[in-house]
Amino acid sequence: MNNVLEARAGREGKKGDCSVHLVRTDSGGVSIEVASTAGDMFAENIRADAKRALDCLGIEHCRLAVDDAGALDYVIQARVEAAARRLWPVEGPGCLPVTRVEYGPPRRERLRRTRLYMPGNNPDLMRNGGLFGADCVILDLEDSVSPAEKDAARVLVRNTLLCVDYFGCERIVRINPLSTEYGEADLEMIVPCGVDTILIPKCESAGDVRGVEEIVSRIEKEHGIGHEVLLMPLIETARGVLGAFEVAGASERVVALCFGAEDFTADIGAERTREGTESFTARSLIVLGAKAAGIQAIDTVFSDIADEEGLVASTEEAMALGFEGKGVIHPAQIAPVHKVFTPSPERIEYAKKVVAAIEKARSEGSGVATIGSKMIDAPIEARARKILRLAEALGLLAGE
Amino acid sequence: MIRNALGRSIPEEIDGRKLRPFEGAHAGHGGGRTAGAPIRASVDYTDKLRSSLDEVLDDIALRDGMTVSFHHHLRNGDNVVNMVVDKLAERGLKDLTLAPSALFPVHEPLIRHIESGVISHVEGSMNGPVGRACSLGRMKRTCVLRSHGGRYRAIQDGDLHVDVAFIAAPAADAFGNCNGHSGPSACGVMGYALADSLYADHVVVLTDNLMPFPVHPWVIRGGHVDHVCVVDRLGDPSQIISGTTVMTRSPTRQLIGEYAARLVRDAGLLDEPGFSFQAGAGGVPLAFLNYLGGIMRAKGVTASFARGGSNAYLVRMLEEGLVGYILDGQCFDLEGVRSLRENPRHLETDPFTSYCYHTKGNFAPMVKVGILGATEIDVDFNVNVNTHSDGWLLHGIGGFTDVTDSYMTIIAAPLLRGRLPVIVDSVTTVTAPGEVIDVLVTERGIAVNPAREDILRRLEGTDLPLTSIQELRRMAAETVGEPAKPQFEERIVALIEWRDGTVIDVVRQLKQEAQG
């Protein structure tokens, strides 16, 4: 029996959020008090949203106060549910909001030039996260959420997945490591609710990936989910770097290896620099591990959002090393990163020439072609076709 | 009651004054003759200098019910309005009409003078706390809200007769020449005080920076000034230049600014000779300026002029040669003040040259793009900048309706503020009719007024996220649900005047349960 009598959830006075104060009572039914920055305009809506969550969780007696700063319905429900979960054990899925977005099964092959990180306990940032043109969004339950709010963020991220349209971005959730008390609970709540990909922090071995895979498979079976959720291990320790190939090949579900420089530099006892010399070898090893396993490699974030020049240099270096994308922490970083990962018209033209030459040679019964004095062989063709696939995905071949 | 051209009910008369209903944005053609100040003789003006406000007031025939006016270039740092009204209250005056070009939160102490009957009502502009008092019905008479150009027109036409104009002047000489270019309270442009200086019965210049004759440029000319009075300080310099000029970090606001800049580019306006634009302070306009500057640099094009509110970003564009001139209505930061003082291509303007509808021309229609914010916009593109969706009157019109004369008037606003939708079925209060609003830019799509077929044609084949305003409305409603509507009393507390002096809408007193 839980002896806690009252609980709070939500961030007080933060735009787009609300804080709730829930008190257990034994009788007297449900009473809901509402205060809002929008005055009385949404008082009835807020009351109805809160009531829906309480009904859904089977709570018949309580006193609830909602202090609202412009929260949407699914946020209010998430905050009420989070507070309730701190007072009562909840059986079953909890209070799922009415789904208002459509999404298909996760797609293995896709562009992952940018993955926009958003803190999982901040509804205002997550609401508009799909508007900025990132290839992927990451709703983060790990480092950007304090231990005391892990449970509340989990409910909010679940509701966000069900209610916020990310317009075809890959919807990634970074869970907490399975070695913590949060990791498995994160998966239980997130996997059934339309997540595309799980970002697994601090991966060091195949076991780390397989542990997640087992739980994910079980949840998929239990919920009759007809598709396979994808996995994306995050390498951020010395051991992880040395185990990159093993991690990359640990599961069929793994689509990319990601690098996390902040934890890595701390792990090896170095300082993080603008140039990133301290992680050069690690990044190369991650690219090698990923490519050897036939998956994508994605570079770490560039953490100074005001330094666009540094961001571009860091992205150019990442591309030169073989990375396909980069993490971003602010929407302003998206356009510069995309620009670097977008093939120039000259490269596209050359790739077209290569493919045309090799096809012509093939039709004439030869396996080798030339452009000018340069021999065109299989790897050059493969690279050219990759550029053209990328160009097509980006709509750069339109009208042809 | 009569219905105006937008179907809003307007009383035929209020406080003994006949009202003219709004007939259309450009239906008015003037007529009649302008007002004029009394004729004086220079022989009576050999010594205008007074050492205290009391001395000045001793020299003026003060009476109950008179109109006193102020400009708002000192913004939230202004000390003058409170100081003068306190003095008038001390002298036992009642039923004054307060005619400021704008009020700020710093003017909250006026509420006590409103409640005690010293001030009967406000004509011009109200913001924040005084607007709140108006919404609650605390004023004895009906307030009138006018744009900057509308205020000039009302004074010029004689609709608003100013008995005493108090002009805060950061730099003045003993003859009354003054400007805002220097001194501890430097505010830059001072054009909002021009009409007051030309048409008031009595003109008082207050300064904390008395300079040797002649102060030049004489934005306000000494020949119009009755008295010059030195006071300790006009205001708080840290608040004169308010903090609305920091680049927004909100990704959503940046995105709206980016869309607006791309709209201007893709409409082909940058490629035509004589491109010009207006963008003031605030998150979205600054983001717009930032993106527009980037596009202009990349394309190697320039604007013939930009209309300020000046700020550091606009000044940089001027100094870089991206804009030929700044035609400035007010300075939003110290960079604006410095540039105005130093750069011969940074010109000081007033509402007569830029905004007034009853003139033989002003340059507002020459501006190609005007970017503006709003509290509400409805599916007919009518815009509200005065009241919030909950019915509170919290903002003046500013230059809003005057800027709508530009070729492409853009409302740039987020789809939601908190949970409140910005796009509604019908605005709570109409400040500007849909016929003058051309494009709505939100973070979730751009809607062009269907009446602007020329703009729609310009945008064919672009990759802008074009949609309809109905679709944006639907999107907002689906996200937030339907808010409750505010409840109003019958009593009208304020008139919203269109630029030509007709009434476009009224604001009613808010019903307060607590008031019983």
Q: Is A39 on the interface with B (CB under 8 A)?
A: yes
B137: β partners? none
The answer to whether residue B212 is domain-embedded is yes
Q: Do A72 and B254 touch (CB under 8 A)?
A: no
Same domain, B270 and B184: no
- Co-location of B261 and B127 in the same domain: no
Tell me the average pLDDT of chain B. Answer: 95
Question: Does the pLDDT value for residue A398 go beyond 70?
Answer: no
Residue A2 has pLDDT above 70, yes or no: no
pLDDT of residue B70: 98
Number of domains in chain B: 2
Question: Nearest 10 degrees: CA dihedral of B376, B378, B382, B387?
Answer: -30
The chain B residue lying nearest A165, using CA atoms, is: B479
What is the predicted pLDDT for the residue at B514?
52
Give φ, ψ of B307 to 5 degrees. Answer: -95, 125
What rounded mean pLDDT belongs to chain A? 94
- Report how many domains make up chain A: 3
In this structure, is residue A92 part of a structural domain? no
In a domain, A95, yes or no: no
Q: pLDDT tens across A46-72, in order?
A: 999 999 999 999 999 999 999 999 999
B277, containing H or E segment? strand B276-279
Give the Å distances, CA to CA, from A292 to A255, B266, B465. Answer: 13, 45, 41
Is the minimum CB–CB distance between A44 and chain B shorter than 8 Å?
yes
Residues A257, A214 share a domain: yes
Are the C-beta atoms of B194 and B167 separated by less than 8 Å?
A: no
Q: Are residues A16 and A77 in the same domain?
A: yes
Q: Which helix (H) or strand (E) holds B49?
A: strand B49-50
- Residue pairs spanning A and B at CB distance below 8 A: 57
CA separation for the pair A163, A166 (Å, rounded):
10
Supply the DSSP symbol for B383.
E
The tens digit of pLDDT for each residue in B416-434 reads 999 999 999 999 999 999 9
Domain-embedded: residue B344: yes
A38 and B418 within 8 Å at the Cβ level: the answer is: yes
Which of A164, A149, A55 has its CA nearest to residue A102?
Answer: A164
User: A104 vs B442, which has greater pLDDT?
Assistant: B442
Residues A93, A99: Cα–Cα separation, whole Å: 14
Q: Of A123, A211, A129, A141, which Cα lies nearest the Cα of A170?
A: A129
Q: Given B208, B240, B272, which residue is the final one in a domain?
A: B240
Are A331 and A356 in the same domain? no
Q: Angle at which helices A73-87 and A150-163 pack, to 10 degrees?
A: 150
How far away is chain B from the Cα of A198, in angstroms, using its nearest Cα? 25
Q: Is residue B346 part of a domain?
A: yes
Domain with B132 in it: what CATH number? 3.40.1080.10
Q: Is the pLDDT of residue A249 over 80?
A: yes
* Domain membership flag for residue A213: yes
Give the domain range for residue A372: 345-393
With respect to residue B69, please indicate whether it lies within any of the assigned structural domains.
yes
Is B360 domain-assigned?
yes
Establish if A70 touches chain B: CB-CB under 8 angstroms.
yes
The answer to whether residue A97 is domain-embedded is no
Confirm whether A387 is domain-assigned: yes
Q: Which residues of B touch A68 (CB under 8 A)?
A: 419
Residues B292 and B202 reside in one and the same domain: no
Asked if the structure places residue A311 within a domain, the reply is: yes
B304 and B216 both lie in a single domain: no
A377 pLDDT exceeds 90?
no
- Pair B134, B96 in one domain: yes
Note whether residue A94 is domain-resident.
no
Residues A298 and A197 in one domain: yes
- Pairwise CB contact (< 8 Å): B418 & A44: no
Q: pTM for this one?
A: 0.93
Same domain for B284 and B226: no
Q: Are residues A208 and A304 in the same domain?
A: yes
Residues B138 and B108 in one domain: yes
Q: Find out whether B449 and B381 touch, Cβ atoms under 8 Å.
A: yes
- Statement to judge: residues B315 and B394 lie in one domain: yes
Q: Residue B295 belongs to what domain range?
A: 251-480
| Interface contact flag, A45 B481, Cβ < 8 Å | yes
**B186 and B270 assigned to the same domain:** no
Domain shared by A310 and A228, yes or no: yes
Q: What pLDDT does A275 receive?
A: 82
Q: What is the pLDDT of residue B85?
A: 98
Residue B19 falls within a domain, yes or no?
no
pLDDT recorded at residue B155? 98
Same domain assignment for residues A270 and A324: yes
Q: Which residues of B touch A38 (CB under 8 A)?
A: 390, 418-420, 483
Alpha-carbon span B178 to B216, nearest angstrom:
7
Q: What is the mean pLDDT of residues B466-480?
A: 97
CATH code for the domain of A209: 3.20.20.60
Q: In the prediction, which pLDDT does B245 show?
A: 65
Most B-contacting residue of A98, A128, A165 (CB-CB within 10 A), to test interface: A128
pLDDT at A399 over 80: no
CA B416 to chain centre: 24
Residues 6+ apart with CB under 8 A from B318: B306, B325, B326, B339, B343, B345, B346
Whether B419 contacts chain A with CB within 8 A: yes
Both tokens assigned to B94: 């009642």
Best of B250, B387, B419 to disrupt the A interface by mutation (most A CBs within 10 Å)? Answer: B419
Contacts of A72 in chain B (CB under 8 A): 419, 479-480
Chain B residues in contact with A338 (beta carbon < 8 A): none
Q: pLDDT above 90 covers what percent of chain B?
A: 93
Residues A260 and A327 in one domain: yes
Looking at residue A74, which CATH number applies to its domain? 3.30.230
The tokens for A183 are: 């990791």
What residues does B439 pair with on adjacent strands? Answer: B410, B448
The tens digit of pLDDT for each residue in B126-155 reads 888 999 999 999 999 999 999 999 999 999
Residue B172 shares a structural domain with residue B107: yes
Asked if pLDDT for residue A19 goes beyond 90, the answer is yes
Q: Which two tokens stand for residue B485?
A: 């509507």
What is the C-alpha separation between B169 and B177, in angstroms, rounded? Answer: 9
Within a domain: residue A163? Answer: yes
Let me know whether A174 and A266 are in one domain. Answer: yes
Of B240, B261, B278, the position where a domain reaches its end is B240
Q: pLDDT tens digit string along B159-186? A: 999 999 999 999 999 999 999 999 999 9
Are residues B311 and B211 located together in one domain of the fold? Answer: no
Tell whether B212 and B320 lie within a shared domain.
no
The predicted-structure confidence for B84-123, as pLDDT tens digits, reads as follows: 999 999 999 999 999 999 999 999 999 999 999 999 999 9
Query: Is residue B249 a contact partner of residue B284, using CB atoms and an 8 Å limit?
Result: no
Task: Assess if residue B37 is contained within a domain.
Answer: no
In a domain, B516, yes or no: no
- Out of B418, B478, B484, closest to residue A69 by CB: B418
Whole-angstrom Cα Rg for chain B: 22
Q: Are residues A202 and A290 in the same domain?
A: yes
Query: Is B376 an 8 Å CB contact of chain A?
Result: no
Q: Do A59 and A29 reside in the same domain of the chain?
A: yes
Q: Which amino acid is at B354?
A: S
C-beta of residue B500 within 8 angstroms of C-beta of residue B28: yes
Place of tokens 């509808």: B357
Q: pLDDT tens-digit profile of A182-234? A: 999 999 999 999 999 999 999 999 999 999 999 999 999 999 999 999 999 99
Task: For residue A92, count other CB atoms closer than 10 A to its CB.
Answer: 9
Strands, E assignment, B354-497 = 369-372, 376-378, 383-384, 408-412, 416-417, 420-421, 423-424, 439-442, 445-448, 466-467, 488-497
pLDDT at B283: 87
A17 and A163 both lie in a single domain: no
Q: Which of A42, A131, A332 sits opposite B483 (nearest CB)?
A: A42
Residue A220: the pLDDT is: 97
- Look at B483 and A72 and tell me if their CB atoms are within 8 Å: no
CA atoms within 13 A on the CB side of A160: 33
User: Which of residues A87, A104, A131 is at a domain's end?
Assistant: A87
- The reply to whether B512 touches chain A by the CB within 8 Å rule is no
Q: Which residue, of B218, B240, B262, is where some domain finishes? A: B240
Average pLDDT over residues B377-385: 98
Q: What is the reported pLDDT for A327? A: 97
Which residues from chain A sit within 8 angstroms of residue B479, using beta carbons?
72
In the predicted structure, residue A20 carries a pLDDT above the cut 90: yes
Where in chain A does DSSP place strands (E)? 6-9, 18-24, 30-36, 62-68, 114-119, 136-140, 170-174, 197-200, 230-235, 256-259, 296-301, 325-328, 369-371, 374-376
- Angle A280-A281-A286 from CA coordinates, rounded to 5°: 100
Looking at A324, A341, A358, the residue that finishes a domain is A341
